[in-house]
Structure 1
Amino acid sequence: MAQVSTNIRAARDLGNAGVVKRILLGLSAARQRRQLIELDDRQLRDIGLTAEEARAEARRPVWDVPQNWLR
């Protein structure tokens, strides 16, 4: 619940510009997640992920972006 309230506060603090920023960040995350799922096992090992971790990341919703992106 704390995560949700933090996200709501962050979005409210950003105002209208924040809404646009959040949409763009979500689209960027979605694109990166699509690219991540296309990596082969060797490439995933290079970045320290397993295939299951990559699939889990790819399944995250578009609005679920890392908190450090919102700063």
Structure 2
Amino acid sequence: MTMTAHSTTMPHGGHRSHSLLARLRLGLTVRRERRRLAELDDAALRDIGVSRDQARAEAERPLWDVPAYWRG
């Protein structure tokens, strides 16, 4: 069985999107990525083209507020 953050592939070839495990993994990933973004220094933020205010706004978004394509 192959697992991704977006869906679970079942051994018989079917897909079960949005399983509890997949949602948990996505939530943990989102939290970790947003925390890391907020911790970047100003030079690193400039390198990726993000302002301090943009980084802060992204870090403050609710856990469930992610792009639809992340949810599978």
Normalising to structure 2: TM-score of the pair?
Answer: 0.69
Following TM superposition, by how much is the alpha carbon of 1:24 offset from its aligned partner in structure 2, in angstroms?
1.1
Relative CO higher for 1 or 2, CA cutoff 8 Å, sep ≥ 6?
1
CA distance in 2, matches of 1:62, 1:23: 11
1:36 touches 1:54 (CA, 8 Å); kept in 2?
A: yes
Write out per-residue CA displacement over residues 14-41 of structure 1, whole angstroms, 9 at most, x where no aligned residue.
Answer: 35x2x32122101100001111111011
Task: In structure 2, list runs of 5 or more residues that go unmatched.
Answer: 1-15
Write out per-residue CA displacement over residues 27-67 of structure 1, whole angstroms, 9 at most, x where no aligned residue.
Answer: 10000111111101110011110000000000011112222
CA distance in 2, matches of 1:67, 1:45: 27
**Structure with greater helix share of residues:** 1
**Structure with greater strand share of residues:** 2
Normalising to structure 1: TM-score of the pair?
Answer: 0.70
CA distance in 2, matches of 1:32, 1:39: 11
Structure 1 segments (4+ residues) deviating >4 Å = none
1:29 touches 1:62 (CA, 8 Å); kept in 2?
A: yes
The count of corresponding residues between Structure 1 and Structure 2 is 57
**Alignment-derived partner of residue 26 in structure 1:** 27
Task: In structure 1, list runs of 5 or more residues that go unmatched.
Answer: 1-12
**Alignment-derived partner of residue 71 in structure 2:** 70
